[in-house]
Amino acid sequence: MTLGGRRTIFLSSHEYINEIADEKRFGKKVVGALDQVRNGVKDGLFTGHNNEEAWGIAHRVLIPAFGPLSIRGMFDQM
């Protein structure tokens, strides 16, 4: 869908979400404002590239608290 001249993609099922969340197939990009933030704070969860050690450490530390199973457990509270 194009909104305000910007192309936006909406995902409508768990199957689509699982497909785009496959870290083996898709990597994140540090561009734009995040690239500028990286100049000041270096690599980390949001500013590191997938293959950098600091990103991997931050990712492994946060997954138990914010991974799919933990988030599913929060649904009733939300």
Domain spans of the chain, in order of start = 2-74
Record the tokens describing residue 2, joined without a space: 């194009």
Res 55: pLDDT:
81
Res 13: pLDDT:
92
| Tens digit of each residue's pLDDT (9 = 90 or more) over 13-24 | 999 988 888 877
State how far the alpha carbon of 34 is from the alpha carbons of 30, 40, 46, in Å. 6, 10, 7
According to DSSP, residue 3 is labeled E
User: Pick from 56, 35, 34: which is nearest to 45 by CA?
Assistant: 56
Question: pLDDT category, 7, cuts 50, 70, 90?
Answer: very high
Res 48: pLDDT:
87
Rounded Cα distance, 56 and 63, in Å: 11
Total-model pTM = 0.49
According to DSSP, residue 52 is labeled S
